[in-house]
């Protein structure tokens, strides 16, 4: 491998000649051969937004020339476009402040700018008015906000729209309800689907609330929150540039001592991701239970048959999209625990669990965005209720007896249900045998279509 010699404050080190990073990146590569999980691409993209905004703010403050700022901006745009992805090889399991990733970005920007005729020092110019202690927390929030706003929310809202269409397609279909996995009173299929729709939309509202906190940035705090070496109003200048670059409402955190050491906004936002995961788990379980069969299960829903389900049982088809949803949900719940533990470990003026927090948050956001899309396209949009099976189960349910309670009382109604179950008869036969109602009275009262609202007839 051809190398070149780079140097930093610790001396000289050989760096691969065909790459654009410098000495500090190389030291990290050699010292942290752990796990293999790279810093999330979303973090590198966030740094590329942040470094461009910082360069423009520094130019406005007179700390960089217009040419220097433009050189930084040009490289940052290329990084965001994915042109230099292989220049960011560092793993998650490095220094807890993310210093080496900050310097990886600084070095790559400086080297690429120098190749184009604009000499920049990775610390003195690219990192001007900054510290790893305020840039990594800021990049962490930028990446989280962008992932929530541009990936998770659009995918989740498309899933909710698919449920809304399913709801509208079957406005009058009535089915038996189930609570505790036991028969309950009837409801419309559309009513149940509306619950699924809201199970997706409610966490979306929570995520929008969380965006406001994620958009509060640590930038301008520099090393310990005092803003040492940063120009006056630097934080606002950077955030103004970020608003223009991203379209999101980034604002300076008013208390930099909080911003550098606390990850409470990330915990709050990931809690909303966990809420979405928990709700998706519930929806997927509902659907796969109701699609169980095809002959020996509930069989009230037909879901798309996407691939063979067994290597030994011919013709078997499984609810694989539902299973993917539930596995993703389990992973998100595990990630939430990691983020919560990491956030609790801020010591003095800095939290040093930043890369692991970034990794877990981005994994959750990616999983949820992807699984919402897959679940929608390969399952939800193809759901078809089995009207005959629903009607059979509805008419066979003993819990229709509930509507008789106002007429014959709770205890007598319970006796009718138990008699029918014990003797294997219909509920109607049990009521008539006990002489509690005439056939005409029973037929007038026990009408499922009258039981799907809370209003008495």
CA distance 16 to 87: 11
Per the CB < 8 A criterion, the answer to whether 239 and 145 are in contact is no
Axis crossing angle, helix 234-246 with helix 41-60, rounded to the nearest 10: 130
Element at 125 (helix H, strand E): none
Count of C-beta atoms within a 10 Å radius of residue 123: 16
CA distance 242 to 215: 10
Residue 118, phi-psi category: left (phi > 0), alpha (psi -120 to 50), beta (remainder): beta
Candidates 161, 193, 156; CA nearest to 367 is 156
Six-digit token string for 401: 């007896």
Residue 70, phi-psi category: left (phi > 0), alpha (psi -120 to 50), beta (remainder): alpha
CA atoms within 13 A on the CB side of 287: 32
Q: In whole angstroms, what separates CA 118 from the centre of its chain?
A: 40
CA atoms within 13 A on the CB side of 7: 3
CA distance 39 to 91: 5
Six-digit token string for 310: 């067994």
Burial class (CB in 10 A: 0-12, 13-18, 19+), 63: buried
Residues with catalytic function = 180, 310
Candidates 336, 317, 324, 337; CA nearest to 280 is 324
The SS3 assignment for 426 reads coil
CA distance 77 to 11: 31
Specify the residue for token string 């409801």: 187
Q: Give residues with Cβ within 8 angstroms of 429, minimum separation 6.
A: 420
């Amino acid at each position: 491998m051809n190398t070149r010699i780079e140097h930093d404050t610790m001396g000289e080190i050989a760096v691969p000649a065909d790459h654009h990073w410098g000495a500090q990146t190389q030291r990290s590569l050699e010292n942290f051969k752990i796990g293999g999980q790279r810093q999330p691409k979303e973090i590198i993209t966030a740094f590329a937004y942040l470094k461009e905004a910082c360069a423009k703010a520094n130019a406005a403050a007179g700390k960089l020339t217009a040419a220097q700022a433009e050189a930084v901006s040009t490289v940052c745009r290329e990084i965001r476009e994915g042109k230099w992805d292989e220049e960011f090889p560092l793993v998650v399991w490095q220094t807890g402040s993310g210093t080496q990733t900050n310097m990886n970005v600084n070095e790559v920007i400086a080297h690429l700018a120098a190749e184009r005729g604009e000499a920049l020092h990775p610390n003195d110019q690219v990192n001007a008015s900054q510290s790893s202690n305020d840039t990594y927390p800021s990049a962490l929030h930028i990446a989280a906000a962008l992932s929530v706003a541009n990936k998770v929310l659009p995918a989740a809202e498309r899933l909710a729209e698919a449920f809304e269409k399913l709801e509208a397609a079957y406005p009058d279909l009535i089915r038996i309800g189930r609570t505790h996995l036991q028969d309950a009173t009837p409801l419309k299929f559309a009513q149940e689907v509306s619950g699924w729709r809201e199970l997706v939309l409610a966490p979306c509202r929570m995520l929008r609330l969380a965006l406001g906190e994620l958009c509060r940035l640590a930038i301008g705090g520099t090393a310990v929150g005092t803003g040492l070496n940063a120009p006056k109003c630097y934080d606002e200048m950077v955030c103004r540039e970020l608003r223009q670059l991203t379209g999101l409402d980034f604002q300076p955190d008013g208390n930099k001592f909080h911003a550098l050491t606390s990850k409470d906004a990330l915990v709050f936002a990931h809690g909303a991701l966990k809420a979405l995961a928990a709700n998706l788990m519930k929806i997927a379980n509902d659907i796969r239970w109701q699609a169980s069969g095809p002959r020996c299960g509930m069989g009230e829903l037909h879901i798309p048959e996407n691939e063979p389900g067994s290597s030994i049982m011919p013709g078997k088809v499984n609810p694989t999209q539902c299973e993917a949803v539930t596995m993703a949900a389990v992973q998100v719940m595990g990630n939430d625990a990691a983020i919560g533990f990491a956030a609790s470990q801020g010591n003095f003026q800095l939290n040093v669990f930043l890369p692991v927090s970034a990794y877990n948050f981005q994994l959750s956001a990616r999983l949820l965005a992807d699984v919402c899309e897959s679940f929608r396209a390969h399952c939800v949009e193809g759901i078809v209720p089995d009207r005959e099976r629903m009607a059979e189960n509805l008419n066979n349910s003993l819990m229709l007896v509930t509507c008789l309670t106002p007429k014959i009382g709770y205890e007598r109604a319970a006796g009718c249900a138990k008699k029918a179950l014990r003797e294997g008869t219909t509920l109607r036969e049990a009521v008539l045998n006990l002489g509690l109602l005439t056939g005409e009275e029973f037929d007038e009262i026990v009408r499922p279509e009258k039981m799907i609202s809370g209003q008495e007839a």
